[in-house]
Amino acid sequence: MAPAPSIDLDVIIESLAAAEIARNFALASFTLNLWDIIICLDKEIQYFWTGAWTVSRVLYLWNRYVSPFLQILVLICFFHPSLSDKSCENGIKACFAINVIALATIQLVLVLRIWYLFPRSRTIRAMCIFSFVTCTILSAIFVGESFPFFRSIQIDIPGVRKMGCAIPAPVNLWRLFIPPLVLHTVLFVFTTVRALRTPNLFQEAPLMRRILRDGGIFYFVVIVVVGLTAVFSFFTNKPKINIPAIYSGTLLCLCSIAISRLMLSIQSVADRLGFNESWILNNVELSRVVWRKGSHDGEIIVEVDPGDPIELTNVHENRICDSPTDTTDHGHGGHRVASPYETENDVESGEGQKGNSKSGGLAVRVTRLGYLDDPHSGPRSPLPDW
């Protein structure tokens, strides 16, 4: 191993003060993450600890628990009194490698979200995948290039007790935070475009309004945190700013909490309305109709203008009822309740819900009897599992 660089005493003292700040940030981040896990544990058990293994479940659990694991490793590097130089260097390298993987998981969740918001736009889907892959590769390259500069130094000052590792931050590590910042900005632009293309949908549909609202809050948190981290890591001559931003793990903690809350929020709305999450995020039928939640669980009311040239097909009058056993008209006053999921040609909302609705089926009220089936929408694609 190359000899440790010589550092002035004033720089060492300032670095020790910066390390103490970073240590406090790391401890606070771990506490915040643990507190958030505890207060959300009931919903987490309900939505993600049981049921079939899906992409959504795997990503949530990985994102949720890799962050506290990383923070424990960071705290060991900060507080262990007798780590060797080699152990310190390997520990810090492991922290940054895990950080890249964890951030890639968070970004993948958002890319999948955009993927299902644009079911017919191959261009936007391709741009999302390309941006994600490019961001992940660049982050891995930048971290790998910084590994040779993670070198532990010995601090031997009378009256100063050694605590944790002493590894100055590489001068070019700020580049690590630029690709995530660019990617999250691109994804936020796509979300905004989706909202602007169907403004009435987000005004009338509670599900999509929740997705847009929570997504906007999440992007705000991520852009602020990633942006500040990138800026602070650039100040290599100011250890009290640079070291806490790079070594504390606060970036991953806040992003992990935000994406966990986003996924829990979507799942809670899906559970309350009797849908599953794949139907919400697929959003094919939501993009074509104006609807709102009905008065019963698992019921949505579709508003159809009598002059609207939308064709209604796939209707059998003996299937128009309020329940699977009730075929009477209960006087909905121009609205009738349709019981879906009975033909292979039903709309995606029905296909995605066979056997999944807690109320026994999704009830759809329309102003004319039947399901909405737009002949100009093109061939239907199978639903994803997330």
pLDDT tens track, the chain, 386 positions: 444 455 566 767 777 888 889 899 999 999 999 999 999 999 899 889 887 888 888 999 999 999 999 999 999 988 888 888 888 889 999 999 999 999 999 889 888 888 877 878 889 899 999 999 999 999 999 999 988 888 877 766 666 666 778 777 777 888 888 898 888 888 888 877 777 776 555 555 555 565 666 666 777 777 788 888 888 888 878 888 888 888 888 889 998 998 898 888 877 766 665 555 444 444 444 444 455 656 655 555 665 555 544 444 443 333 333 333 344 444 444 343 333 333 333 333 333 333 343 444 444 444 333 333 334 444 444 433 44
Same-domain status, 309 and 238: no
Same-domain status, 86 and 43: yes
Q: Specify whether the CB–CB gap between 296 and 103 falls below 8 A.
A: no
Rama region for 54: left / alpha / beta (φ>0; ψ in -120 to 50; rest): beta
Same-domain status, 241 and 162: yes
Same-domain status, 51 and 114: yes
Same-domain status, 175 and 90: yes
Same-domain status, 215 and 101: yes
**Domain limit, last residue, from 240, 273, 306:** 273
Pairing state between β 336-338 and 363-366: antiparallel
Same-domain status, 204 and 269: yes
- The token duo for 100 is 């890249």
Query: What is the CA angle 189-283-108, rounded to 5?
Result: 50
- Name the pTM for this structure: 0.67
**Residue 2 counted as domain residue:** no
Number of domains in the chain: 2
**Domain limit, last residue, from 232, 247, 273:** 273
Q: Specify whether the CB–CB gap between 363 and 338 falls below 8 A.
A: yes
Which residues span the domain enclosing 372? Answer: 285-386
**Residue 228 counted as domain residue:** yes
Same-domain status, 259 and 355: no
